[in-house]
Structure 1
Amino acid sequence: MGSSNRIDGWKAIGGHFGRDRTTVMRWAQQRGLPVRRLPGGKTGTVYALRDELDRWAANQTNLNEEVPDGLTETQALPVATPERSFWARNWRRLAVVGLMGLAIAFAAGTILMSRVASPAQTPALPSDPAVSALYLEARDAWAQRTPASLTRAISLLTTITRKDPGFAPAWAGLADAYLLSREFGITPDAEAFPKAKAAAETALQRNPELGAAHRALGFIAYWWQDDPQTAGRFFRKALTLSPRDAQTHFWYGNILSDNGQHVAGLRELNTARLIEPGSVAIQTDLAWAQWSAGEDAEARQALSQLMQVRADFPVVHDCTSLIKLADGDYVGYVQDLGEFARLRGDPELIRHATALRDDLKTGADAVQRRLMQYALAEIAAKTRRTHVWPVFLASVAQNRQQVVNLLKAAETRGEKWGEAGLTARIARLWMDDGEIAASLRRLKAAPVE
């Protein structure tokens, strides 16, 4: 869930920093701003990667200093290598030193470059222009977040890892693509998580300092391995390495919110939104986090606005369906679930939603029975990992005995729950019931941070 990492053209690159095109052209020539040509593009066709620009900016000082005017786009385009960055930063000093000083400076530069070119440093793009073009296409496909685009991203990234197996970002991107593919019904969890884990671990073998790979392993630790504390460590490492990576703030905010650490979760999600204010995915999950935190009015308003501008985004309907069910609105739930299933393109979910729509002709009790049967069947098949959902269903139906029985089954299995949005509603519905409240406390997962 996020937008493209690529920025095209001098004007857009300037906009990333809140500056004009001339300023970033100056930075490219004199400060080594990592700007590149599109493979096969014309002279003035350039692009940059957001995370690379942010890493560069974090190491700069006094970006407001004045430099001479008169640069052209061709002159401004650097060769984005350690050598280019070194000479661009030190040209004034080198111009006034004598031959001995130049020799010393050159030696220092050689030492510096040998450190920068260590195995932990991965280039932003593959060295082969054709493979670079495939990688950029793959990242754009991943950012579109549709079943078709994610399938395309996985195919492209798999090809890139074969053509350039040493390029760590392609392996991290493949992990990301597999993780999103499960959310869109393309790949089942049992297949997606192991493949994503293998890809992320391969990325770290190629570059142990690649933040995106740590992020993917944090996501896996939380959502697959039920280990929130390990997940937190991975995410914090990722943010140390890439402090302005919107996707990392986004996914970290998700797990914090799911874990019930609402202040921290909203902090991270709002940070992600500041970095990528146009991301519908971030805005949607921020609204869900608000609902989970009890900020009902704000969440409903945000989702309503998103529905008006991006009714084609599946996750919006997923969120609204659950909120309606929490209100006891079975009709609204079935309608929104059906739209979510259609947009997601998941045949099994479409069949389930269709059956629920037929049940509405009989009444809400028939819908409730089917939902419970389906949820328990998923637990038996191990495609649903905890009893949170059936306990939520039983709570909405006000079936206390069923709630108690399901909670006991969850404790017997040693489950530890996140799902803070649903568990908060369960707790609210049984706020005066000491037995249920105690069970919910015992099932609470360890904190992420």
Structure 2
Amino acid sequence: MIGRTLGRYRILEQIGGGGMGVVYRALDARLERDVAVKVLPSGALVDEAARRRFRQEALALAKLSHPNICVIYDFDTQDGLNFLAMELVVGQSLAQKLDAGPLPEKEVVSLGTQITAALEEAHERGIVHRDLKPGNILVTPKGQAKVMDFGLAQLLQSQADLAATQTFAETRGLSGTLPYMAPEQLRGETPDARADIYSLGCVFYEMATGRRAFLEDSAPRLTDAILHQAPVGPRAVNGRVSPQLEAIILKLLDKDPERRYQTARELRVDLERLRMPTTPIPETRVKKSIAKPVLAAAVGIVILAAIAFGLDAGGIRSRFSGGSGRGEIRSIAILPMENLSHDPEEEYFADGMTEALITEFAQIRALRVTSRTSVMQYKRAQKTLPQIAKELDVAAVVEGSVQRSGDRVEINVQLIQASNDEHLWAKSYQRNLRDVLDLQREVARAIAGEIRVAVTPQEKEKLAQRRSVNPDAYQAYLKGRYYWNQRSETSIKRGREYFEQAIEKDPTYAPALSGLADVADALSWYGFESPQSFVRSRQLALKAIALDDSLAEGHASLAMGLFYSDWDGAGAEKEFLRAIELDPNYANAHHWYSDLLGATGRHQEAISEEKRALGIEPVSLIMNTWLARRYYFGRQIDAASVQCSKALELNGDFAPARYQMGLIDIEQKNYGAAIAEFQKAKELSGGATIYIAAVARGYAASGRKDQALKIYELLKRPGEKYVSPYWMAQIAADLGEKNEALQWLETAWAGRAVWMVMLSVDPAFDPLRSDPRFQSFVRRIHLLQ
């Protein structure tokens, strides 16, 4: 097999093998990355119907996207060989790791929590592993767990009755599935998610003790032990196992599925509590009740206030300065608050609390605060905290959880030093929902004694003067931001509906007006609506600023309208800089400002500004893509290609990144690749006209003019979707129709087409650059004045 090519994968070396197939390291020729290719056993799929069913299931498995699950990229058949292309994980199996003996309890809980998170993700999608064991779990050098072969045991069973599990187990042998199988599987019952939970108990037992739960040396004896005998208590094998961990393991291994943990989420709650002690607070009463969104905002504000005004407190000072030699916390990430309730409706409550915390922390200039977009990438990620902190480049993290049941709320908050995962402070509060004001004071007193950060008098005053907000307006605003962040036409328009609801509830709520301005900007920029949307954006932003001149989002929104609609570079730059002054942690202000810098030919400044945005939102798809765009407009094409590849590694289904890679491919004369990227962007976007026009550009640049003209003529016809004359001018330029391109630019200029601001730097118009008529257009767009 070595040196052979399967599909687009060139086999390099064998790296593993077993009953599920042989695994090879291979090179993906299309994306130029190493992957793992698993060739399934001969005869596993006996006919085309079986292969078709397998393909359907493999596609379902490919949709499992989770940091603790080994991702499946592709499935195909070639020359009678059925194979899967998967993520290549560097590390050792948990089985290999356990050869050295039991793990420390902290590591058991850390790895176990990650594996639990992987099961939770799969089970919520209706996928049961059926073969969970240490050999199917990889551990990277940084301590990240990756679960392999999800669902593969089920998929590779014969097309006979899937309930014939015992026979399947016997064929696998003692060293395979049997030691980790649940009693109900051995009885021939169809397993559900709770069978995976039992198998996880076997894995936990082995991690904690260094040996299997049952040591019988023959299949019949082992089967009997699993069905009828209780395992030796983990503490009897390893005295360092805590009673709490032993209780969790024994509950996992209960022979009755009804008495085990019923869901992976339920298990994860207990693991979280094992990591963090709970301090109940006696119930008190106040007269006034308060709605859920206000609680989220209030707790966010009070935690910040505790940090902001605890300047002279001790606590963490001894950990971060003085004898320890460590300095103040200068960078922090507020990780997504975890919803420990079983009610999915409470997810929004937890997310709202996260957003409130981030918004309040971001106002302290002495702190660099990671934005919501970036931290939300880690919701349920269960990576190790040092790993998350390294990826986000922060010194400390705040994490917590929320559980609401009836009129009771439990809030867990903890502060963690990122470098060594040291829990500096943690506490759990249990209160009546009406007692939120007492809860605020209690949390403030606790954290004020634990942290030190420099806050200016102006920031103190601003933090002390927070305005109240209609709870319904606040909730609608959070939903609007949630959908706006998704950046598809449907989601942006849905965000608009929620912003409008917020304004209806509270016409003076400036953030909602700013959000509505951002919706208008996005709809116009992506070509979902005409440039007139930017006119409305400017009006909304001015109204938001009139209500609250200290709102950074309002100034940034105004700058967008001045830049893209009025072509007022000086006015836009002033507003961008004001937004950054008000909130240096507002990533969008840096991100949008970089566009202006690039449009005016200040490419190195543009690159630096986009990197500042990425410093706040390191895993933002749009900002990673825009850094490639900055290099592209600066004619640093190789750097643009490298950066765009990074964006696609984050998410290969992000249409703007596919589009940008296509533009780069054109400059590198990789026309076939460009067409493929544009087609993919078009498919992912549901047929956005910007990407349809790009496909025509790819055909024109490659010399396939007939195909380009067909799309070009189609786009000329009036239709429901807006087609920018700027994009039409690009196609005409690629077709060599200089006069027609200039005519389209005249139309674009008259209609204030959004992308005209990029005219002086856009490589698409290099063929026209020497024409005096083109130079006249550049002068008429007065960005430099």
In structure 2, C-alpha distance between the alignment counterparts of 1:421 and 1:318, rounded to whole Å: 20
C-alpha RMSD of the superposition = 5.4
Change (3 A) 1:116 1:303: closer
Say whether the 8 Å CA contact 1:291–1:421 is kept in structure 2.
Answer: no
Give the structure 2 partner of residue 126 of structure 1: 469
Residue in 2 that maps onto 1:366: 706
Instruction: Give the direction of change, closer, same or farther, for the CA distance of 1:25–1:421 in structure 2 (3 Å limit).
Output: same
> Is contact 1:30-1:89 (8 Å) kept?
yes
Q: Deviations over 1:23-54 (max 9, x none)?
A: 98962773699x9x99x999x97534434212
The code of the aligned residue for 2:427 comes to T
Change in CA separation of 1:249 and 1:182 when aligned onto 2, cut-off 3 Å: same
Q: 1:54-98: CA deviations, max 9, x gaps?
A: 2135499xx99xxxx8773549x9969xx999999999xxxxxxx
SS of aligned partner of 1:243: coil
Q: Distance in 2 between matches of 1:191 and 1:273?
A: 30
Give the secondary-structure state (helix, strand or coil) at the position aligned to 1:294: coil
Specify whether residues 434 and 348 from structure 1 end up closer, same or farther in structure 2 by C-alpha distance, changes over 3 A only: closer
1:50 is the counterpart of 2:348 = no
Q: Secondary structure at the match of 1:215?
A: helix
- Structure 2 alignment gaps of length 5 or more: 1-271, 276-302, 314-331, 342-348, 369-394, 397-423, 450-457
- Greater shift in the superposed pair: 415-424 or 134-143: 415-424
Bigger Rg, which one: 2
Residue 225 in 1 paired to residue 566 in 2? yes
> Which residue of the partner structure matches residue 310 of structure 2?
30
SS at match of 1:446: coil
5+ residue gaps, structure 1: 1-8, 12-22, 92-111
Q: What is the SS of the residue equivalent to 2:478?
A: helix
Percent identity reads 19
How many residue pairs align between the two structures?
A: 390
Compared CA separation, residues 223 and 289, structure 1 to 2 (3 A): same
Alignment match, 2:615:
274
1:72 corresponds to 2:427: yes
Cα deviation for residue 309 of structure 1 reads 3.5
User: Does structure 2 conserve the Cα–Cα contact (< 8 Å) formed by 1:273 and 1:279?
Assistant: yes
* 1:2-21 equivalences in 2 (<5 Å): none
Query: Do the aligned partners of 1:211 and 1:237 also contact (CA within 8 Å) in 2?
Result: yes
Greater relative contact order, per chain length (Cα 8 Å cut-off, separation 6+)? 1
Distance in 2, Cα, partners of 1:53 & 1:167: 20
1:376 to 1:266, Cα distance in 2 relative to 1, 3 A: farther
Tell me the distance in 2 between the aligned counterparts of 1:113 and 1:403: 52
Q: 2:198 matched to which residue of 1?
A: none
Is contact 1:200-1:216 (8 Å) kept?
Answer: yes
* 2:363 counterpart SS class: helix
Secondary structure of the corresponding residue to residue 290 of structure 1: helix
Kindly provide the CA deviation profile for residues 247-299 of structure 1, in whole angstroms up to 9, marking residues without a partner as x: 11011112211332212211210100001111111000110111111111111
SS of 2:784's partner is coil
Contact 2:607 2:630 in 1 (8 A): yes
Separation in structure 1 between the aligned mates of residue 667 and residue 425 of structure 2, nearest angstrom: 62
The equivalent of 2:139 in structure 1 is none
Q: Is 1:142 paired with 2:484?
A: yes
**Mean CA deviation greater in 227-236 or 365-374:** 365-374
Distance 2:305 2:359 in 1: 18
Measured in 2, the distance between the counterparts of 1:179 and 1:337 equals: 23
Return the offset for 1:316: 0.9
- The correspondence of residues 234-313 of structure 1 with structure 2, limited to 5 A, is 234-313=575-654
Contact 2:526 2:690 in 1 (8 A): no
The 1-side partners of 2:558 and 2:619 are apart by 26
Which of 200, 211, 214 is the matching residue for 2:541?
A: 200
Query: TM-score, normalising length from structure 1?
Result: 0.66
What SS does the aligned partner of 1:72 have? strand
Counterpart AA for 1:72:
K
Residue 291 of structure 2 is matched in structure 1 by: none
Partners of 1:70 and 1:300 in 2: CA distance: 44
CA 1:181/1:84 → structure 2, altered by over 3 Å: closer, same or farther?
A: farther
Counterpart AA for 1:223: Y
Q: Scaled by the length of structure 2, what TM-score is found?
A: 0.41
**What residue is the counterpart of 2:392 in the other structure?**
none
Contact kept in structure 1, 2:682 and 2:691, CA below 8 Å = yes
- The answer to whether the 8 Å contact 1:29/1:78 transfers is no
Q: Kindly indicate whether the alpha-carbon contact (under 8 Å) linking 1:330 and 1:364 is maintained by their aligned counterparts in 2.
A: no
Rounded Cα–Cα distance in structure 1 between residues aligned with 2:460 and 2:518: 31
Say if 1:376 and 1:50 are closer, same or farther in 2 by CA, change over 3 A. Answer: same
* Aligned counterpart, 2:521: 179
Q: Do 2:697 and 2:734's aligned partners in 1 also have CA atoms closer than 8 Å?
A: no
Deviation at 1:397, TM superposition (A): 4.3
Distance 1:113 1:323 in 2: 44
Residues 250/399 of structure 1: CA separation in 2 closer, same or farther (3 Å cut): same
| CA offset digits 1:311-343 (Å, max 9, x no partner) | 211111221233334455554444333322222
Partners of 2:461 and 2:618 in 1: how far apart?
Answer: 36
Q: Deviations over 1:148-195 (max 9, x none)?
A: 32222111111111112221111111211222233455x412453233
Find 2:686's aligned residue among 328, 345, 352. Answer: 345
